């Protein structure tokens, strides 16, 4: 939030310097993000008088001015402004000055052959407004030769970051209150302009939705004259980054920025019948002030008359009933809206505004009457007219929260000692009522106060956060014990393993749109947020795959030919106890080209289900899972898995029921739902299902592991089996490897074939088996016995031996070894 020091001093009587103000703001928890001094931008611009104005000899629309700067001889300036004339006071930018609007440095130059020593400036060129039809005209008594920055009264602008829990400081008056409580000055009482209310309000005002709009106040002012705002008002709005529009609009913005109280003004001639706060009807539309049309639903609060909707309550007014330069009669509206309802409406419509920012955080319900009187008084004072009596529809919440407080908590929780009397003074200066036994009644505007700890925060920050000493926590002697949990260690190991395998880490939102989330689990299991950031972040993710799919889509739309991404995070489900059930998970997406097209085959290779399986096994091995014992089974588990292609996906299980991971190609229907081009392979590893290793016993060994090769040469044998088409190759490999655990050290599939020469309903699977002799070389009888055990183990899986033998490479190297003979 931005404001000028001049504006601040409208409400705070202080002699503090800019440096003292900013230091105090930081000390009380209102972080200063920046300070801007407009006077620096106006350096080199002075008040000047036009002595003569003559037509340019070579240009019809230019004049040659002789300008008195109050210093030395008058200067000659060429000017094209139609209002330039002899005797007027204006603003001269002399050579060396930089024009704020475009950054141009002024220099002495010749324009159409006539020397010009600077430029007479317009309002827009000095960024003081939008008017650029002519140069600035100052009053006749403006001091010639004085700095325009000093004459204009430009004061430093402070930019403060307001945390979401402090809506009471989203107005300059609230910030002044905090500074006064901190001892930087005295808070001035609000000056209410006096005016007489003439007649009863001629418009019926009511609220038909007391839940969404508990209080709806208003009054009519007739006979006003709209037009430009006075300079003091424009300067204050400009310091806050607001563009002055017209007197009536500017005054409503002033009330919001000065006191944190949004309000709205309607052109009375554009209203029909009663003005009502009510629920919208589903499908109703409103053309808002931003000239966009919004379609509403019945969860939203609107302000409407007998004819149409005129206001998205608490967020933005309608274009059809806004005040204009021709407005003479108006209706002022000021209300209290339910904060959560405003937030939900704004997110559904994707509509942000200064009013919404304040209403959804909670405005002061006690400032309704005063706010309406202050705004009406300013309008009558500056725009004329006659105000009616106020109309009160409904009532704002007035139940103040009472908190039992103990001053000792300030030292215990805040780490700073503050005398009890000083704590009482601080709380009372912030409008908390404190009894003798420390029963503290909170002002209605302080929605953030929930308990004693919040009062400690108030005391400590006003006392000064800079006075809280940094204290080193006690530390035990010796070497510090590891602080990472076993889960954190596992995730770090997996993160390194994934990166080493060529995957890039992605960090996606833990929230998803409801439709995308429902695609990955049953609707009843979704963990929905009651107050989400936006409608696209309404549900906690039940899987990491949706977020990674959307990340891959964004990469593809930006020209990426391949995405190899992973994420380690949590999935969220609705637990049986009503709380969130969080499960640690690894997600992987492989999309696009695995290898780019080349001269060998002329086309790119795409990722397939086997790439996903390899990634799953590699990461499971890094996580310590017994990958050699895993079973490859069907992908659907308790209704999950339909997001994967049924013929190109599977699960990895430790036993029939314990699922450690699922992998495969994403189903075309899922790709279509996410508007993603395929094919895409994916992996999801469930870390909570991986069995944890038991803690080791005995002393830790620091001996270097031995990597010496075995003394005896290994033997490789190939087996070809006829197996049923539905048999997973991994099941066959597991059976073969388990046939002789002492001698078989590795097993892998090197060929799969189905077609001519293979019986119908069968496929040929060729397996390479590596045998490692232990103490002596194998004899023929040893090899035959191992082969028989392998064939028997395969037969239990429905496999039939097609052929077996030693590979050619091994045969050539072993022909003369004793015990092998010829093959």
Query: Binding site: which residues?
Result: 448, 454, 457-458
Rounded to an integer, what distance in angstroms lies between the CA atom of residue 440 and that of residue 452? 9
Binding residues for Mg(2+): 448, 454, 457-458
Q: Phi and psi dihedrals of 504, rounded to 5?
A: -105, 135
Q: Diameter of the chain by CA atoms?
A: 123
Rounded to an integer, what distance in angstroms lies between the CA atom of residue 237 and that of residue 228? 13
Q: Nearest to residue 619, comparing CAs of 495, 489, 486?
A: 495
Q: Which residues pair with 333 in a beta bridge?
A: 218, 264
Rounded to an integer, what distance in angstroms lies between the CA atom of residue 125 and that of residue 101? 5
Structure token pair of residue 730:
């991994």
Q: Is the peptide bond before 76 cis (omega within 30 degrees of 0)?
A: no
Q: Nearest to residue 621, comparing CAs of 586, 597, 594?
A: 586
Residue whose tokens read 């003292």: 20
Alpha-carbon distances of 172 from 7, 67, 249, 395, rounded to whole Å: 8, 41, 18, 26
Alpha-carbon distances of 78 from 43, 70, 89, 113, rounded to whole Å: 21, 19, 16, 10
Q: Which residues pair with 147 in a beta bridge?
A: 46
Q: Phi and psi dihedrals of 392, rounded to 5?
A: -110, 115
Rounded to an integer, what distance in angstroms lies between the CA atom of residue 134 and that of residue 124? 10
Rounded to an integer, what distance in angstroms lies between the CA atom of residue 686 and that of residue 689? 6
Rounded to an integer, what distance in angstroms lies between the CA atom of residue 39 and that of residue 46? 12
Secondary structure (DSSP) of 9-37: HHHEE----HHHHHHHHHHTT-EEEEEE-
Rounded to an integer, what distance in angstroms lies between the CA atom of residue 70 and that of residue 89? 12
Q: Which residues pair with 440 in a beta bridge?
A: 403, 434
Residue whose tokens read 């330069």: 325
Rounded to an integer, what distance in angstroms lies between the CA atom of residue 556 and that of residue 332? 52
The strand pair at 562-574 and 504-505 is best described as: parallel
Structure token pair of residue 271:
């209203």
Structure token pair of residue 172:
């300059």
CB atoms within 10 A of CB 174: 22
DSSP-based three-state secondary structure for 159: strand
Structure token pair of residue 771:
């045998």
Rounded to an integer, what distance in angstroms lies between the CA atom of residue 509 and that of residue 14? 47
Contact assessment for residue 337 and residue 367, using Cβ atoms and an 8 Å cutoff:
no
CA terminus-to-terminus distance, the chain: 88
Q: Nearest to residue 214, comparing CAs of 341, 361, 352, 357?
A: 341
Please tell me the total number of residues recorded for the chain in this structure: 823
Rounded to an integer, what distance in angstroms lies between the CA atom of residue 220 and that of residue 237? 25
Structure token pair of residue 523:
């609707």
Structure token pair of residue 648:
């190109």
Q: Phi and psi dihedrals of 68, rounded to 5?
A: -95, 120
DSSP-based three-state secondary structure for 186: strand
CB atoms within 10 A of CB 138: 19
Structure token pair of residue 682:
């994916």
DSSP-based three-state secondary structure for 758: coil
Contact assessment for residue 266 and residue 275, using Cβ atoms and an 8 Å cutoff:
yes
């Amino acid at each position: 939030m931005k404001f000028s020091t001049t504006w601040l001093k409208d409400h705070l009587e202080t002699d503090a310097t800019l440096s003292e103000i900013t230091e105090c703001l930081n000390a009380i928890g209102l972080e200063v993000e920046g300070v801007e001094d407009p006077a620096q931008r106006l350096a080199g611009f002075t008040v000047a008088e036009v002595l003569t104005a003559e037509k340019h000899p070579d240009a019809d629309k230019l004049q040659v001015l002789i300008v008195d700067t109050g210093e030395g001889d008058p200067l000659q300036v060429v000017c094209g402004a139609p209002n330039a004339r002899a005797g007027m006071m204006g603003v001269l930018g002399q050579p060396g000055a930089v024009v704020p609007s475009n950054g141009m440095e002024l220099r002495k130059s010749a324009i159409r052959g006539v020397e010009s020593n600077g430029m007479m400036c317009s309002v827009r060129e000095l960024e003081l407004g939008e008017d650029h039809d002519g140069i600035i005209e100052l009053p006749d008594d403006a001091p010639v030769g004085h700095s325009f920055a000093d004459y204009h009264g430009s004061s430093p602008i402070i930019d403060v970051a307001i945390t979401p829990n402090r809506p009471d400081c989203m107005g300059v008056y609230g910030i002044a209150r905090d500074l006064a409580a901190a001892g930087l000055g005295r808070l001035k009482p609000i000056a209410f302009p006096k005016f007489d209310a003439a007649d009863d309000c001629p418009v019926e005002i009511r609220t038909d939705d007391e839940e969404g709009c508990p209080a709806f106040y208003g009054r009519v002012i007739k006979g006003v004259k709209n037009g430009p705002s006075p300079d003091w008002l424009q300067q204050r709005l400009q310091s806050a980054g607001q563009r002055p529009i017209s007197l009536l609009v500017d005054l409503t913005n002033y009330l919001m920025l000065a006191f944190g109280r949004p309000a709205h003004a309607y052109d009375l001639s554009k209203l029909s019948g009663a003005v009502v706060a009510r629920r919208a009807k589903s499908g109703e539309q409103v053309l808002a002030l931003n000239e966009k049309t919004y379609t509403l639903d019945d969860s939203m609060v609107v302000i409407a008359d007998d004819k149409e909707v005129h206001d998205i309550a608490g967020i933005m007014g309608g274009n059809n009933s806004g005040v204009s330069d021709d407005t003479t009669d108006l209706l002022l509206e000021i209300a209290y809206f339910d904060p959560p309802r405003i937030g939900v409406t704004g997110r559904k419509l994707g509509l942000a505004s200064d009013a919404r920012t304040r209403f959804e955080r909670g405005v002061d319900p006690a400032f309704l009457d005063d706010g309406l009187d202050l705004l009406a008084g300013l309008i009558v004072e500056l725009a004329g007219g006659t105000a009616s009596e106020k109309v009160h529809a409904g009532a704002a919440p007035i139940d103040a929260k009472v908190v039992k407080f103990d001053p000792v908590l300030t030292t215990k929780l805040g780490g700073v000692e503050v005398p009890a009397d000083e704590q009482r003074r601080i709380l009372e200066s912030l409008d908390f009522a404190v009894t003798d036994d420390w029963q503290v009644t909170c002002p209605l505007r302080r929605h953030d106060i929930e308990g004693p700890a919040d009062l400690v925060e108030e005391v400590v920050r006003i006392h000064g956060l800079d006075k809280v000493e940094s204290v080193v926590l006690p530390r035990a002697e010796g070497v510090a014990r590891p602080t990472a949990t076993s889960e954190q260690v596992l995730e770090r190991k997996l993160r390194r393993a994934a990166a080493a395998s060529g995957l890039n880490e992605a960090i996606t939102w833990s929230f998803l749109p409801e439709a995308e989330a429902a695609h990955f689990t049953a609707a009843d299991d979704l963990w929905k947020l009651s107050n989400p950031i936006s409608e696209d972040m309404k549900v906690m993710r039940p899987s990491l795959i949706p977020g990674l799919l959307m990340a891959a889509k964004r990469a593809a739309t930006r020209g990426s030919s391949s995405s190899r991404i992973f994420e380690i995070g949590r999935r969220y489900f609705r637990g049986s106890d009503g709380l969130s059930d969080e499960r640690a998970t690894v997600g992987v997406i492989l999309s696009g080209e695995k290898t780019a097209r080349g001269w060998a085959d002329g086309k790119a290779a795409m990722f397939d289900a086997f790439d996903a399986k390899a990634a799953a096994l590699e990461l499971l091995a890094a996580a310590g899972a017994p990958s050699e014992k895993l079973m490859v089974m069907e992908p659907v588990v308790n209704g999950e898995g339909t997001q994967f292609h049924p013929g190109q996906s599977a699960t990895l299980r430790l036993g029939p029921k314990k699922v450690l991971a699922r992998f495969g190609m994403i189903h075309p229907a899922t790709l279509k739902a996410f508007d993603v081009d395929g094919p895409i392979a994916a992996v999801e590893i469930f870390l909570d299902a991986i069995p944890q290793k038991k803690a080791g016993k005995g002393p830790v060994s620091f001996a270097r592991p031995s990597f010496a090769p075995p003394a005896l040469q290994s033997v490789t044998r190939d087996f070809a089996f006829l197996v049923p088409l539905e048999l997973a190759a991994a099941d066959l490999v597991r059976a073969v490897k388990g046939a002789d655990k002492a001698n078989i050290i590795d097993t892998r599939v090197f060929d799969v074939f189905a077609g001519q020469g293979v019986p119908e309903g069968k496929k040929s699977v060729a397996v390479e088996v590596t045998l490692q002799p232990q103490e002596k070389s194998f004899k023929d009888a040893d090899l035959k016995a191992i082969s028989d055990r392998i064939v028997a183990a395969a037969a239990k899986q429905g496999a039939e031996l097609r052929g077996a033998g030693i590979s050619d490479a091994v045969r050539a190297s072993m022909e003369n070894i004793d015990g092998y003979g010829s093959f």
